[in-house]
Structures are given as structure tokens and as C-alpha cells.
Amino acid sequence: MKQPLIIDVHGHYTTAPKALEEWRNKQIANLKTPELGPKVSELKISDDELRESIEANQLRLMKQRGSDLTIFSPRASFMAHHIGDFNTSATWAGICNELCHRVSQLFPDHFIGAAMLPQSPGVDVATCIPELEKCVKEYGFVGINLNPDPSGGHWTSPPLSDRYWYPIYEKMVEHEIPAMIHVSTSCNACFHTTGAHYLNADTTAFMQCLTSDLFKDFPTLKFLIPHGGGAVPYHWGRFRGLAQEMKKPLLTEHLLNNIYFDTCVYHQPGIDLLTHVIPVDNILFASEMIGAVRGIDPETGHYYDDTKRYIEAAGRLSEQDRFKIYEGNARKVFPRLDKALQQKGQ
């Protein structure tokens, strides 16, 4: 059997040159006086700086760990859609997406883009469509990150099943792009960003889909739930039982033609559970490297987020299963990625 292409569907540009953060800090300082800048043109990052930030970090680790291609989006915790208004988010999303695009141009074999959207709490999501379409049509991006809680931990938007979100879904279906459902930094003191808010959002999003008939309205809509699906696989029996009480179809039928889980679960027992409970057709390889958990696990001597090791060691998986997790499912969920690879003869 042909060696699979190892596609990591969940990488963020967490290592962007410092100038990006400095620009953002100025933007935040002038939220009420945007005329004082900074202008987009004031941000100057050279190709060499981009190259260096990637070669020394993500690309180095990809080579070490043996992954080939990363679906690369702006840093999730920096999206911070709760800051400022739509214009704040629009400018910021434009900058961050362009940087990911430039990375994908500099390293076309190793990175392909996914867009952050210029969401802003309470604002019509149709306002995100121009940025979405620019990223798809001009940058060749293959997916988006959709934030179900642009308020940053106050959960003031309607559930994902609400028609509020439908303008985005219509565009996703039209352009054949999936959404990774990914929140950003928490500004609610109750929720630690990467230790609570991220995982809670994953569970919440899944349950919003479960209680609704969203995928009857959008039979080809695809959501990728990151961080191994939050609490969902661990509580798969609870979710099956709740769906049963609500007279919903079996979850395989009700949700699993539309919902996929990544493998950002940072220990072997977690991956073993994920691959036991969730059908292999619904699992996509990912590490979120370089992300929230950067250290080396003293129990194994390897990086916590070196999730490929766990997939390799997961005893239940056949070679065919691993092919799906590494490559096949990503091509299915991200049809534009598949086309881009085919155009390169891959």
C-alpha cells in the first residue's frame, strides 16, 4: 500500500513575527481613535522573516515528526473577535489571512490556508463573506475557522443551528469548504482559554448540532470539531442516550455525515478511546502544533502534541484506517485540498 500523505488539518500561525502582535496592540490601543492608526501598510514583515518563523518552528517539527502538509490558519487565540467592532475584525482578519497565504506561497508543498473570519459579536455574519470569498478565490484556501462564540466566553450568539449562521453555511456549501468550529481567547475569568473554553466549545457545538436538524437544511455542510471533539467521544454513550431520548436518529446517521473530529488529544489513552468510539471515517489527523501544549511528556519522553505517535501506536487501527486518518478523510472533508493536490499530481 502506498505511503499516505500525512496531512495535519489543524495548524495555526502561532509563531508569526513579533511585528504582527505589535501592530495588533496598536490597533487595540486606538480602538476608539482608529484614525490614529495603525494603517495596514505600517505592518512590514519580509518573506525572509516569514520563512524563518516557519522553518525554525512548524516546518522543523513537521520534518522531525514526519508530517507533510498542514492546513494553516491564523492563530486561534489571537482572533479575539470580541475586541472592537466589525471594522476592527475585518482589518485584523485581512492581515492574518494574508500572512497565512504568504506562508502557503513560500512553502506550497507544506502549507495550505484556512481562513479566520472577521466575526464580531452581534453583527450579521454575512459581513464575513467578502473575506471568506477572497481567501477561497484569490488565496486558494480550503477551509474556514468558524467561531461559535465571538464574544470570547460570554456565549451571546445564537446556537450554530440558528438561521443567524445560515449565510456562512450557504457559502461553505457553494464553495465546498468545511468549517473548523474553533473559539478564540476567553475574556471570561471562569474559562481558561486552552484548558476549558476550547474544549467546552467543542462539546457545546456538537450538542447544538445534535439537538437540531441543521444537517437536514444543509446535507453537505461539514464541520470539523477540533481537540478530539472536546468531551464528546469520552461521553459517547451519554450523547447516544440523549439523542435517543429526543427521538433523533442514531448519531451515525444524524450527525456523522457532517461532523468530523481531529486527533488533537495529547496522550495515548485519549487517542485509543477516540479511535475506538468514533468511526474511522470521521477522524482526521491533526496536532495543533505549535499550540497550547508545547512541552515534552515526562511519561513518554516525546512531545505531548506529537499526535502521530499515538496514531501509530493505536492498536485497533489497520493500515487502511491510518490512510483514512492521515490523508483520505482530509481529501474528503476538504474537497478543495483534494483538487489542489491532484493538480500537483498528488
Catalytic residue numbers, as ranges: 288
* Interface pick for a second copy out of 236, 256, 335, 339 (rule CB under 8 A): 236
Strand partners, 143: 114
* Interface pick for a second copy out of 233, 262, 334, 338 (rule CB under 8 A): 233
Interacting stretch for a second copy, rule CB under 8 A, among 32-40, 75-83, 166-174, 298-306?
298-306
Whole-number Å distance between alpha carbons of 311 and 157: 36
Under rule CB under 8 A, residue 203 binds a second copy: yes
* Interface pick for a second copy out of 200, 258, 263, 282 (rule CB under 8 A): 200
Q: Return the number of the residue (5 or 277) whose C-beta is nearest a second copy.
A: 277
Under rule CB under 8 A, residue 178 binds a second copy: no
Residue 36: CB minimum distance to a second copy, A:
34
Whole-number Å distance between alpha carbons of 168 and 27: 27
Residue 303, C-alpha cell as written in the block: 512531545
* Interface pick for a second copy out of 32, 35, 295, 344 (rule CB under 8 A): 295
Give Cα separations from 176 to 33, 222, 229 (angstroms).
39, 9, 22
Q: Return the number of the residue (299 or 319) whose C-beta is nearest a second copy.
A: 299
Residue 241: CB minimum distance to a second copy, A:
4
Of 1, 138, 13, 4, the closest CA to residue 71 belongs to 13
Under rule CB under 8 A, residue 63 binds a second copy: no
Under rule CB under 8 A, residue 73 binds a second copy: no
The DSSP result for 155-196, as a single string, is: --SPPTTSGGGHHHHHHHHHHT--EEE------STTS-IIII
Residue 5: CB minimum distance to a second copy, A:
26
The CB-based long-range contact list for 132-136 (8 Å cut-off, 24+ gap) reads 132/168, 132/171, 132/175, 133/171, 133/175, 134/97, 135/97, 135/101, 136/175, 136/177, 136/336
Interacting stretch for a second copy, rule CB under 8 A, among 26-34, 58-66, 102-110, 273-281?
273-281
# residues contacting a second copy (CB under 8 A): 58
Residue 263, C-alpha cell as written in the block: 486527533
Q: Is 279 helix (H, G, I), strand (E, B) or coil?
A: coil
Residue 207: CB minimum distance to a second copy, A:
4
Under rule CB under 8 A, residue 106 binds a second copy: no
Residue 196: CB minimum distance to a second copy, A:
4
Under rule CB under 8 A, residue 237 binds a second copy: yes
**Sign of the C-alpha dihedral, residues 85, 144, 11, 183?**
positive
Under rule CB under 8 A, residue 293 binds a second copy: yes
Of 217, 215, 206, 225, the closest CA to residue 258 belongs to 215
Q: Burial letters for 315-340: b for 16+ Cβ neighbours within 10 Å, e otherwise?
A: eebeeebbbbbbbbbbbbbbbbbbeb
Provide the binding-site residues for a second copy, judged by CB under 8 A. Answer: 148-149, 153-155, 157-159, 188-192, 194-196, 199-200, 203-204, 207-208, 210-211, 227-228, 230-231, 233-242, 244-245, 265-267, 269-270, 272-273, 276-277, 292-295, 297-299, 304-305
